[in-house]
Amino acid sequence: MSGCEDNDEILGDAACGKKRSATEISSTDLPPLPKKRQAHRALVWQHFIQKEDNWSLCNCRYCGQEIGCDTKKSVTSAMKNHINRCKLFQTFEASGGQEGLGTDSGGVVTAVKYDAGLFRRSVNEMIVLNELPFSFVESEGFRRLCHNVLPMYTVHCRKTATEDIFGMFMKEKASLKHLFCFEQNRVSLTTDIWTTPTTSYSYMITKTIAEHLSQCLVDWGIVKVFTVTVDNAKGNDKALRLFTEACRELGPNALIKDGTLLHMRCCAHVLNLIVMDGLAEVKESVMAIRNAVKYVRSSGTRLQSFQLRVLNGKVSRGSLSLDCVTRWNSTYLMLSAALEFRVAFGKLLAEDMLYNEYFKESEENGQKRIGPPTSQGWDEVHRLVKFLKLFFGSTLAFKASKSVTSTSCYNEIVIIERNLIALRNNRDDLLRIQAT
């Protein structure tokens, strides 16, 4: 180089007014690469787990004792000496490798019988109960868990899990079919049909419903039916009549009282129909309050503006819950919470210009947004909440158990009737008419 010392330092080149390309930079200029963990070839390593934060230490898989391991010199004598005297390892070997570690009633660590088949079935049951994907058994976390806790277990693949679970299903189905066919027990059925959220139509004709119920009897070997519980819809009435005729062909004992008690209407659905009628009468008032709650919950700034107008207590998004339109009980909770802040909504209407502009906008369908809530609307909703409260408690009672009996339903029906009779004598004319 002219006028510069011949050296490999980048700083020297820069002083001479020259820049070296990336390919000309020597390896000494780059940061050192992270060290790779060497693969363990010694057989004794199958009994130890190397620590992640300190490669010079490892733990025994059986007793957990910490042992030094010099990975640089590949010295494993300390590990071999420990395995030769580890009592828990000796117990494991004596059992043919089919035992794991556990504790007795006194908390003393001991060897327990290990059943590979039971563990595999338990994993498959976990997939079903927790609705996990079949690929869960191939996930890194699960394999690491098995490697650290049960090194003797060979993890199965997703295909094996699928076959195992299908086999479990067929076995349980065969067991139920045996119960239905040979013990001749009466069975109660229930069915529900999915409806589209946009049109509220179900795309299954009446005849198809009856055919599916009849096919269910054949598939499960059911010859005696007690009741069939369905929603209170006209399509189900005709479907159950066709199903009753099909059941009569099974024999004289297939139905009770020739099927006159077969059709049961869902109590929760009947309650829902009554409540939806009540909501329909004050639809616009409910919609106005729903839009007001949407406005407050839509941003932190709007929530803060609303908070300034609340006289007592603090308000959060959780304080004003937004309902699910198809779930009337969530609408009841939304309206109950909104009524607590009626005064604050009134101040928002009088003082907040953005709140007023919000209701001048149009919805996605092009129609003007309903609201804000009026004084008359608040009064209508106040009456409605009193009406809905009667049914809300019963809905909770129906959902509290997976095995709701007719006696519990009857008790709730009596409570509703008594409260409706009391409301018929209320001084409020509109509430009295609604109860009637």
pLDDT above 70 coverage of the chain, percent: 78
**pLDDT tens, 128-173?**
999 999 999 999 998 888 877 776 677 888 899 999 999 999 999 8
Comparing 10-14, 33-37, 317-321, 382-386, which segment has the lowest mean pLDDT? 10-14
The confidence band for 12, taking pLDDT boundaries of 50, 70 and 90, is very low
Q: What's the mean pLDDT when you consider all of the chain?
A: 78
* φ, ψ for residue 312, nearest 5 deg: -125, 135
pLDDT at 298 over 80: yes
Comparing 11-15, 164-168, 388-392, which segment has the lowest mean pLDDT? 11-15
pLDDT of residue 18: 44
Contacts of 165 (CB under 8 A, 6+ apart): 124, 127, 128, 134
pLDDT at 15 over 50: no
pLDDT at 1 over 50: no
CA gap 111, 103 in Å, rounded: 8
CA gap 312, 5 in Å, rounded: 80
pLDDT of residue 403: 66
**pLDDT tens, 397-406?**
777 666 666 7
Question: What does the pLDDT average to over 6-20?
Answer: 44
Comparing 199-203, 252-256, 355-359, which segment has the lowest mean pLDDT? 199-203
Task: Calculate the CA dihedral of residues 363, 366, 371, 376 and round it to 10 degrees.
Answer: -140
40 or 283, greater pLDDT: 283
**pLDDT tens, 314-333?**
665 557 888 887 778 888 89
pLDDT above 90 coverage of the chain, percent: 8
Q: Are 430 and 383 in contact (CB under 8 A)?
A: yes
pLDDT at 339 over 50: yes
Name the H helices within 63-111. Answer: 77-85, 87-94
* φ, ψ for residue 99, nearest 5 deg: -130, 155
109 or 378, greater pLDDT: 378
pLDDT of residue 167: 93
pLDDT of residue 5: 43
pLDDT at 379 over 70: yes
The radius of gyration computed from the CA coordinates of the chain, to the nearest angstrom, equals 36
Residue from 226, 272, 283, 235 nearest 253 by CA: 226
Tokens of 239: 């479907």
pLDDT of residue 107: 52
pLDDT of residue 124: 92
